[in-house]
Structure 1
Amino acid sequence: MSDRWPEHLTVRPWTAGDARSMAAWRYDGPWRVYNLSAQEELPDEDDGYMAVADADDSRMVGFYCIGEEARVPGLGAELGVVDLGVGMDPIWVGNGHGVSFGRVVINYVRRAHPTAMLRVVVQSWNTRSLRLVQRLGFIDSGHHVCVQNGLPVTYVVALLPAP
């Protein structure tokens, strides 16, 4: 794997190899909550996931998902709203690539859903991701609390209005 951030990113279909790669990602510190456990079922090609990859060699640097896969427990679907979840390989996290990565994802999702509002949820302690979604134009619209792994988790809900 190259140690340089790709000059150009593209979105491509999700593969079983992408799922295996994502399962091996290990985040440090409080971001460990995003590590997949061995018991979790890996997303497959039919789960609404797409890979964000280097346009030159197709290696995955992250992913996005929409719809039900992007929603946390208790957060219902809303008419005119596309739920969006994203993840980036931890080797790239915290290195200033979030805005370029996020813009690629937003532009791609906007092509398929040009009039929809986009909704993301970010755990309330994750100030780094909260700053990123603000820089991408999302607006804080409240909080959502749900129980995950037996514990209450508070999320900030943020919306990106349709253009």
Structure 2
Amino acid sequence: MMIIQPMAADTAKKIQEWQYDEPYSLYSLNGDSEVFSELLNGSYFSVTENNKLIGYFCFGKSAQVPAGYKENAYAASLLDFGLGLHPMHTGKGKGLRFVQAGLAYANEKYGDKSVRLTVASFNKRAKIVYERAGFTYEQSFLRVSDSGSTTFEVMVKKI
């Protein structure tokens, strides 16, 4: 059984150490204090199973990619949902159950609302999981940074 609880400082530090292999390295968080503060802002929740940290969920503005603002990707009033599965659990068929647990938690905590998430376009594994969980494509936008550009897709699960 997955246990979902508000993010604690020691757990946030562990998550900041996670390193994803290419091409998923953009999901690796760095260890700076700004990221640490973000993880503790009240919108992040750790997920454990069998007393082991397996991932996290976040809700609201923390689940948005700022580059999407200029494209009005977040104009509709929906619940934004973000998630991170521990790198050692990715690509092993655990994603759908993890996403479903996050959606159930969102329903408990925030009520029966349509949910929106943002995913890197190249992340085909995740997009398949999200489609299986009932999400559909809404729009795309480009994020340009010092490390290059990435296209993101906004997906919505309507209630």
Shared fold, TM over 0.5: yes
Residue identity in the other structure for 1:104: A
Q: Distance in 2 between matches of 1:18 and 1:151?
A: 30
CA distance in structure 1 between the partners assigned to 2:75 and 2:107 by the alignment: 17
Question: Which of 69, 79, 94 does residue 82 from structure 1 map onto?
Answer: 79
In structure 2, the partner of 1:15 is 8
Paired residues of 1:47 and 1:69 also in contact (CA < 8 A) = no
Structure 1, residues 44-85: CA drift from partner, whole Å, max 9, x if none?
43341001111x43x321001111111101334445301111
Aligned residue among 109, 123, 133 for 1:112:
109
Label 1:156 to 1:44 Cα distance change in 2 as closer, same or farther (>3 A): closer
Partner of 2:139: 142
Q: Which runs of 5+ in 2 are unaligned?
A: none
- Counterparts in 2 of 1:47 and 1:112: CA distance versus 1, 3 Å: closer
2:18 to 12, 19, 25: 25
CA distance in 2, matches of 1:74, 1:31: 19
Is 2:30 aligned against 1:37? Answer: yes
How far does residue 131 in structure 1 lie from its aligned partner after superposition?
Answer: 0.6
Match of 2:45 in 1: 50
State the alpha-carbon separation in 1 of the partners of residues 92 and 149 from structure 2: 30
Q: Is the 8 A contact 1:73 1:147 kept in 2?
A: no
Fraction of identical pairs, as percent: 25
State whether structure 2 residue 80 is matched by structure 1 residue 91: no
Q: TM-score, normalised by structure 2?
A: 0.87
Matched residue count:
153
- 8 Å CA contact retained: 2:6, 2:45: yes
The 8 Å contact of residues 117 and 161 in structure 1, kept in 2 or not, is answered as: yes
What's the CA shift for 1:133?
0.5
Q: What is the TM-score normalised by the length of structure 1? A: 0.85
SS across alignment from 1:41: helix
Q: Judge conservation of contact 2:7–2:42 (CA < 8 Å) in 1.
A: no
- What stretches of structure 1 of length at least 5 have no aligned partner? 1-7
Please identify runs of 4+ aligned residues in structure 1 that moved more than 4 A: none
- Worse-superposed segment, 40-49 or 138-147: 40-49
CA distance in 2, matches of 1:87, 1:21: 13
- CA–CA distance in 2 between the matches of 1:131 and 1:121? 13
